[in-house]
Structures are given as C-alpha cells and as structure tokens.
Amino acid sequence: MAVDRDLYRKERALRVALFVTCVNDTMFPGTGRATVTLLRRLGCDVVFPMGQTCCGQMHLNTGYPEEGGRLARHFTDVFAGHDAVVVPSGSCAAMIREQYARLAPAATAFAERVAETVPKVHELSEFLVDVLGVTDVGAYFPHRVTYHPTCHSLRGLRLGDRPVRLLEQVRGLELVPLPAADECCGFGGTFAVKNPAVSAAMCADKARNVTATGAEVLCAADNSCLMHIGGTLGRQRTGVRTMHLAEILASTEAAR
C-alpha cells in the first residue's frame, strides 16, 4: 500500500488515533493497553476517540448489511480528520479497507468520508513497518513462540512477513514456524457457531499443528482468531497460551 511517509516525518510526535475494535475493547483490553504502550515507546502521541464502537464486520459478514453499513458510517464519522488510525486487528482493518467502499453508495457524503478515511487506516504491523519504518521495537520476550498469520491478514491485507520481521527482532524470543500456517483456523466469525462441527474440525488440525511446534505461546495479529484457537487449546489442556502481537512487542526487560 502506498504510504505518505513525509506526513510522519515531522518534528512533532506522530499523532495516532487508536481504533481498538469492539472485541479488544470488551474482551481483550490488555491488547489495547499494549498497543498504547508500544506506540508511545516509539514516539507516537496516541489518542482514543471515545465515540468509536465497531467496524461492522460481524453484521455485514453475517448478512446484515444495513447494520454493518450504519456502523461503517459511524466509524468514518468518528475517525475522519485523523492523520493515522491504527488497528490491532487484521480482520477489522481488512473489513475497513476491502468492504467499506462497497457499502457506501457512490457520490454520497459517506462515500467521500470512506475515500478520505480508509487510506489512513493501518493494521498495527503495517503501521510499524511501513509508516514508522521500524522492525526492532525494543521488545524483550524470552519465550518459544509460533505465529499464525490469520486469513484476513494473509489474504486480505497481504501483511506478508511484516509480523514475522517484527517478532524476529524481539530479544530472547525463539520463533518456530507453524506447519500449514496459511490454513484457516475455522473461526470465521459467526461461522464458529453456525457450523460448529466443521469449525471444530478445522481447529483440531490447527491446534495439532500448534502443539507440534513445541511453542509455549501462539501469537497472531487478531484476537478473534486467537479466542477460537486459544479456546480449543485451553479445552484440550495443551498448556499453550495465546498472545496478540501487540502484547509481545510491548514487553520489555523493564516492564512485562
């Protein structure tokens, strides 16, 4: 994605609006706090627009485009005018980038807002690598970790190896490759409850591949997928825990 780097090369601290996402806000606030810690450590001025709620993905992808569209419009209203919006979720960022333009009827104020806001929305690892231009974020995390690239990060946003490059620079971290990493874990939003048998069968294979690595931590850039895989790893008493990329990158020798 083309990025206006000059925008961020000003003397003042970069002003970043955090879109924490509804899942992180409600269920995984630690990921939000870690994102704030990390961005501040890298010199950003982080703001949290209190009007934010949800990107609308659950509604749109479950077949409720009216509600999804309303939430998308709300998002563009809340985040218009910010220089950069950072999202610690691959699938929410992909929803915004891929689907908002389809939701906004052409030649409306909503469409204008989408055209203006969406290019400024960055998934966390994109923001770190492409905008800030860093891969070594000064993190320390002395554990054996495997990384699951999640479908919307991999095939939606095309994050490529950005998250892995970030993890490789973390001191003390031993990164082990995940077999069949590009296969879906079976979450799929409401798919997990609408098609529970197939969802569980897919996650059984994912969990088997995770435990085969011998890792103690499974990392991803999306807590919704991690909630699914982590829920399975927990039920099977594998002892493997899940962590969002932001939480590993926020860890330092001083404060963990």
Partner 1 sequence: MRPATGPVTFLGMPAFPANAAAAVGNSQLRFNLRKATHTIREKRASVVDELPDWARLRQAGKQIKDHTLRNLERYLLQLEEAVTAAGGHVHWAADAREANRIVTRLVKETGESDVVKVKSMATQEIGLNEALAEAGITAYETDLAELIVQLGDDLPSHILVPAIHRSRAEIREIFLERMAAWGRPAPEELTDDPRALAEAARRHLRERFLSTKVAISGANFMIAETGTLVVLESEGNGRMCLTLPETLISVVGIEKLLPTWRDLEVFMQLLPRSSTGERMNPYTSTWTGATEGQEFHLVLLDNGRTRVLADEVGRQALRCIRCSACLNVCPVYERAGGHAYGSVYPGPIGAILTPQLRGMSSPLDASLPYASTLCGACFDVCPVAIDIPEVLVSLRGRAPHPRAERFGMRAAGWVLDRPERMARAERMAGRLRRFVPRRMPGPLSAWTDTRDLPEIPAESFRDWWLRTDGGNR
- CA dihedral (69, 75, 78, 79) in degrees, to 10, reads -130
What residues numbered 145-174 form the site for partner 1, per CB under 8 A? Answer: 151-152, 155-156
Structure tokens at 8: 């961020």
User: Using the rule CB under 8 A, is 30 a contact of partner 1?
Assistant: yes
Reduced to 3 states (helix: H, G, I; strand: E, B; else coil), residue 66 is helix
What is d(CA 24, CA 21) in angstroms, rounded to the nearest whole number?
A: 5
User: Using the rule CB under 8 A, is 196 a contact of partner 1?
Assistant: yes
What is d(CA 94, CA 186) in angstroms, rounded to the nearest whole number?
A: 18
Stretch that binds partner 1, among 6-14, 65-73, 132-140, 210-218 (CB under 8 A): 65-73
Task: State the residue for tokens 């389809």.
Answer: 102
User: Using the rule CB under 8 A, is 77 a contact of partner 1?
Assistant: no
Q: Fill in the amino acid letter for 113.
A: R
User: Using the rule CB under 8 A, is 203 a contact of partner 1?
Assistant: yes
Pairing of strands 241-244, 174-176: unpaired
Rounded to a whole number of angstroms, the minimum distance from the CB of residue 4 to partner 1 is 26
User: Using the rule CB under 8 A, is 192 a contact of partner 1?
Assistant: yes
User: Using the rule CB under 8 A, is 54 a contact of partner 1?
Assistant: yes
**Site residue total, partner 1 (CB under 8 A):** 67
User: Using the rule CB under 8 A, is 46 a contact of partner 1?
Assistant: yes
Which of residues 60, 84, 118, 131 is near partner 1 by CB under 8 A? Answer: 60
DSSP state of 140: B
Which of residues 1, 10, 13, 29 is near partner 1 by CB under 8 A? Answer: 29
Question: Vertex 87, ends 156 and 75: CA angle to 5°?
Answer: 95
What is d(CA 256, CA 100) in angstroms, rounded to the nearest whole number?
A: 37
Give contact residues for partner 1 (rule: CB under 8 A).
Answer: 20, 22, 24-30, 32-33, 36-37, 46-48, 50-54, 58-65, 67, 70-71, 74, 99, 102, 151-152, 155-156, 182-184, 186-203, 227-228, 230-232, 234-235
